[in-house]
């Protein structure tokens, strides 16, 4: 009985999503159609994530998720995009030689800082981006300076030469991504 009920709920969810898709497409001017396609891809990506399907988003969806995570934590989008570029070159499956995981390169010990039950959750793109944005936001609130926040994000402390070089690199690269 439970299986039949779950199937009916899933069918209902699919119907709702299809109705949303149809409404978006019907009300979209032709020149904005590509934006609708990206939003539809994003909806599909998030629905599949909810059902536990491991999926890597398209580049367009990835950038929307990057922007969304930055916005949620009141970060400059260009800084957060540059951080992810420097950390993983936008590779969701990246693992550093020190064990940092995913697209925003979160150390497994920081998974609990983001409310995660397991460090394995860091391989989910959206979860990783939200965790990275949360950590950077917390460091920015504490240090009141993006340079210091980036330095700490990279190496865990403000007085760290490698972290300072990293911060400069991210800030310089952020100019390419503008706001």
Give yes or no for residue 85 having a pLDDT over 70.
yes
For the chain, the structural domain boundaries read 2-50, 59-177
Mean pLDDT of 114-119: 95
Look at residue 8 and tell me whether its pLDDT is greater than 60: no
Is the per-residue pLDDT at 1 higher than 50? Answer: no
Round to whole Å and give the CA distance between 173 and 134.
21
pLDDT > 80? residue 110: yes
pLDDT at 18: 64
CATH for 59-177? 1.10.530.10
Q: Whole-angstrom Cα distance, residue 75 to residue 137?
A: 7
Residues of the chain above pLDDT 90, percent:
64
């Amino acid at each position: 009985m439970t299986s039949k009920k779950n199937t009916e709920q899933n069918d209902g969810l699919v119907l709702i999503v299809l109705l949303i898709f149809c409404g978006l497409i019907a009300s979209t001017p032709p020149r904005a159609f590509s934006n609708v396609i990206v939003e539809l891809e994003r909806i599909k990506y998030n629905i599949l994530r909810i059902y536990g399907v491991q999926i890597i988003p398209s580049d367009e969806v990835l950038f929307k998720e990057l922007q969304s995570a930055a916005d949620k934590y009141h970060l400059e989008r260009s800084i957060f995009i540059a951080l992810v570029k420097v950390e993983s070159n936008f590779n969701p499956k990246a693992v550093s030689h020190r064990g940092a995981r995913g697209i925003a390169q979160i150390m497994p010990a920081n998974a609990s800082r983001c409310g995660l039950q397991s460090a394995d959750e860091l391989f989910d793109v959206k979860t990783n981006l939200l965790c990275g944005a949360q950590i950077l936001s917390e460091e920015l609130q504490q240090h009141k300076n993006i340079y210091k926040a980036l330095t700490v994000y990279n190496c865990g402390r403000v007085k760290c030469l490698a972290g300072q070089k990293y911060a400069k690199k991210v800030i310089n690269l952020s100019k390419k991504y503008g706001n």
